[in-house]
Amino acid sequence: MFEPILNESIIKRGREKKKVAIRVHDLRAYTKDRHRKVDDRPFGGGPGMVMTPQPFFDAIKKIKGDRKAKVLLMSPSGKRLTQKLARDLAKQKNLILLCGHYEGVDERVRQKCVDESISIGDYVLTGGEIPAMVLIDCLTRLVPGVLGKEASLEDESFEDGLLEYPHYTRPANFRGTKVPDVLLSGHHLAISKWRKEQARRVTRRNRPDLIK
């Protein structure tokens, strides 16, 4: 699942420039089970399977080695990923992301091995791989030197607590819908003021909670 995402666009560029190094590990390689099983039935009953602790404990120990690394568990019950949290995480030198499956991961993994559980939003996905890729993409963009122009980060949504203003490109008149005059005026101050107003308008409309 990871190959195409890690070898495209900004993540690919970050890896090529050696600004980030990303490795994918197969949890099954660490299981002591004869059948390479990494899940079992839940104590207390109920539907679905739970991922067993042993492969996680051993994989984390091996991958960490002598390095200091923050261990993150992808989980819908985790702390919600925001741009602010991403900025904090992007400062870490080494991160290990754990992907759950089925009903989730044995709680002892979280208790003993995990520094922080991270949710990418209030909905449930099938496995932790897509959430891990979301986090990798989000963090890679924040590593200095990955994006071409550092400035392209500054105006992005959430950077100043607001959503971003609308963008326009050529043509100035597309099938009768025109680009706002101010953007064609060359008047930098007026453009900047318009963009701020628009950012507030979009945020009020789509995310009133951010305005509060």
Ligand X SMILES: C[S@@+](CC[C@H](N)C(=O)[O-])C[C@H]1O[C@@H](n2cnc3c(N)ncnc32)[C@H](O)[C@@H]1O
Q: Which residues bind ligand X (CB under 6 A)?
A: 74-77, 99-101, 103-105, 119-121, 123-128, 131
Of the two residues 53 and 100, which places its CB atom closer to ligand X in the complex? 100
Q: How far is the C-alpha of 58 from the C-alpha of 112, rounded, in Å?
A: 12
Q: Which two tokens stand for residue 195?
A: 């963009």
User: Minimum distance between the CB of residue 48 and ligand X, rounded to whole angstroms?
Assistant: 7
Of the two residues 111 and 126, which places its CB atom closer to ligand X in the complex? 126
Q: Which residue is nearest to ligand X (CB)?
A: 100
User: Minimum distance between the CB of residue 82 and ligand X, rounded to whole angstroms?
Assistant: 13
User: Minimum distance between the CB of residue 74 and ligand X, rounded to whole angstroms?
Assistant: 4
With the CA atoms of 83, 86, 88 and 91 taken in that order, what torsion angle do they form, in degrees rounded to the nearest 10? Answer: -130
Angle formed by the axes of helices 129-142 and 9-16, nearest 10°: 60
User: Minimum distance between the CB of residue 38 and ligand X, rounded to whole angstroms?
Assistant: 12
Q: Are the beta carbons of 97 and 117 closer than 8 angstroms?
A: no
Q: Are the beta carbons of 164 and 155 closer than 8 angstroms?
A: yes
Of the two residues 118 and 146, which places its CB atom closer to ligand X in the complex? 118
Q: How far is the C-alpha of 54 from the C-alpha of 202, rounded, in Å?
A: 48
